Amino acid sequence: MILALETSCDETAAALVTDDGAVRANVVSSQADLHARYGGVVPEVASRRHLELVVPVVREALREANAELGDVSRVAVTRGPGLIGALLIGLAAAKAVAWARRVPLVPVDHLQGHVASLYLGEDALEPPFVCLLASGGHTLLLDVRERGAATVLGTTLDDAAGEAFDKGARLLGLGYPGGAAIDALARSGDPDAFAFPVARLPGLDFSFSGLKTALLYTVRALPQEELERRRADLAASYQRAIVRALVERARAAAERTRADTVAVVGGVAANSELRGALPGAVLAPLDLCTDNAAMIASAARYAEPVPYPDYLGLDAYA
Ligand code: KG4
Ligand code: ZN
């Protein structure tokens, strides 16, 4: 079994996954409530909380899997990208467990982890496919020809899609994190109420900063009372613009690479409108969209393990 740790942002997560991709435990402790009062993740606060949570979360994963450290053949951990202090807590904990058990350590790239959320369970996906990775930190279109490798076809030139959701939610007074809040509010709104722009860039890149500015100006121009009344319409129209940009580009990428399959992963893949907007696409399971350690364990199966004790000098990357 692989024990994986993920601490790149504000989720402290541990998972146990078998070599053939069966998830035995997947524990995620979100710090969202802790950061909500600041309107976003405070890196130093996140690091300190990871430090408090990492051991209980690993214990909980072992309990859930009915396993012990002796059953672990290697330890996987997110090495980057993410918040450097937060990553270092997970990396130090993973090194400690691996070293104590004299087993190899597998450093995993967080983005490869998101893609590998498609390789778990009964309906594990087989490349080739085009992957839309939309999260709080990244928006990427990837050409995936084999597990463990990918070529970037397009990326965002400014904000990530999840960041656009979070900033939009903030402008609408919905608090942090905002993606799920916009998703929920949009259900009772009219997506055609406001005509928000979808950036028309050449190629397969994205841009969301113009959309965010358009929402800002619209919100500013509305009297407070009307803003209250039309909040759901604003959420629905804003969400529609983000989803439209993602869907258009994903389709274009599939056309360009002649891929038969489009897959969607990352926190924004949890969005209900996006999930409905790409019929036939392979969608990451809901519980594996936002950050978790099961996807890190999954990716570790296709990454190079570092033998005991060479990994003690490994560093994280921001
Ligand atoms: O993958 P993730 O957990 O963390 C990163 O690697 O960034 O993604 C988090 C992002 C946040 O921006 C959050 O607002 C967004 O995913 N998100 C959503 C939904 N659930 C989470 N965005 C839109 N609709 C959702 N239902
Ligand atoms: Zn992520």
- Asked if residue 291 has its Cβ within 6 Å of ligand 1, the reply is yes
Q: Does residue 107 contact residue 88 with C-beta atoms inside 8 Å? A: no
What is the pLDDT, as a whole number, of residue 198? Answer: 87
> From the alpha carbon of 114, which atom of ligand 1 is closest?
1
What is the pLDDT, as a whole number, of residue 9? Answer: 96
> Are β-strands 129-134 and 105-109 bridged in parallel, bridged antiparallel, or unpaired?
unpaired
Q: How would you class 166 by CB atoms within 10 Å of its CB: exposed for 0-12, middle for 13-18, buried for 19 or more? A: buried
Most confident of 5-14, 27-36, 192-201: 5-14
| CATH class assigned to 129-260 | alpha beta
- Indicate which residue's Cα is closest to atom 21 of ligand 1: 267
State pLDDT tens for residues 98-140.
999 999 999 999 999 999 999 999 999 999 999 999 999 999 9
3-state secondary structure of 148: coil
> From the alpha carbon of 291, which atom of ligand 1 is closest?
3
State pLDDT tens for residues 187-230.
999 999 999 998 888 899 999 999 999 999 999 999 999 999 99
Other CB atoms within a 10 A radius of the CB of residue 102 amount to 9
Rounded (to 5) percent helix, strand, coil in the chain? 45, 20, 35
Domain 2-121+291-313 has CATH 1.10.10.10: no
- Give the DSSP per-residue string, 164-203: HHHHHHHHTT--SS-HHHHHHHHTTS-TTSS-------ST
- Asked if residue 143 has its Cβ within 6 Å of ligand 1, the reply is no
What is the pLDDT, as a whole number, of residue 40? Answer: 87
State pLDDT tens for residues 245-280.
999 999 999 999 999 999 999 999 999 999 999 999
Closest CA to 293 of 106, 97, 117, 49: 117
The domain segmentation of the chain, as residue ranges, is: 2-121+291-313, 129-260
Query: The pTM is what?
Result: 0.97
What is the pLDDT, as a whole number, of residue 188? Answer: 98
